[in-house]
Homo-oligomer: A and B are copies of this chain.
Amino acid sequence: MGRGMTGASEPPVSDADREIMEATHRALRDHGYADLTMQRIADEYGKSTAALHYHYDTKEELLAAFLDYLLDRFVESVRAVETTDPEDRLELLLDRLLVSPKSNSDLLIAMLEMRSQAPYKDAFADRFQQNDEYIRHMLEAAIDRGIEEGVFADVDADHVSRALMTIVDGARTRAVVLDEAVALETARQTAAEYVDATLR
């Protein structure tokens, strides 16, 4: 699973597709989204820009495919949390969302750039919305489970999950804009405090 997690319906990617995704990944990491040109991707790919257009008609199409590729990988890393105990699960999910991203801060930057383009690119907006819904539902489900088991207070799980996602997105934005690695730690603590205050 994981393929098509974002709702897109691409066929299983070929070797070339995979190589282009990885080339795009590197180009994005090194130059950022604003300076991401077909030429730069082609350079990383090791072939011409015409080669890219052979596989993807337009730049927009290539980038939409890349966003699927990236968000699928992200979802997969969150889905790797298998713990079922509601309290532990919620903590582990928040850890995934707020601590592990520290490693790839280059990508965090590029992701915020792409997010800021959502209002102008429907293909981006759809994917980010679907991804957000998916992750948020994982939080909501863990909260609902805890309520059923009686370990969490009977709160509005929808609201609490949205509150936690707000903290997560705030941390990511601040990590990029203020160049603070601490932003993620501050947010992790804030999330813990919020969980403790509302769910116990």
Contacts and interface: CB of A to CB of B under 8 A. Distances in A.
A101 to B, nearest CB: 15
Interface stretch (A12-20, A85-93, A114-122): A114-122
Size bin of chain A's contact surface: 35 or more
Q: What's the dominant secondary structure at chain A's contact region?
A: helix
Nearest to A118: B177
A187 interface: yes
A123 to B, nearest CB: 13
B116 A178 contact: no
Contact of A186 (B118, B159, B177, B178): B159
B165 A166 contact: no
Contact of A119 (B32, B159, B190): B32
Interface in A17-47: 32-35
A128 interface: yes
Contact of A190 (B32, B166, B171, B178): B166
Given A112-B115, A167-B170, A190 B179 contact: no
Interface stretch (A2-10, A62-70, A141-149, A192-200): A192-200
Contacts of A83: none
A144 to B, nearest CB: 18
19 contacts: A33-B116, A34-B120, A113-B116, A115-B173, A115-B176, A116-B116, A118-B178, A119-B179, A129-B177, A165-B170, A166-B186, A166-B187, A166-B190, A167-B190, A169-B169, A169-B174, A170-B170, A170-B171, A194-B194
Interface of A: 32-35, 109, 112-113, 115-120, 125, 128-129, 132, 159, 162-163, 165-174, 176-179, 183, 186-187, 189-190, 193-194, 196-198
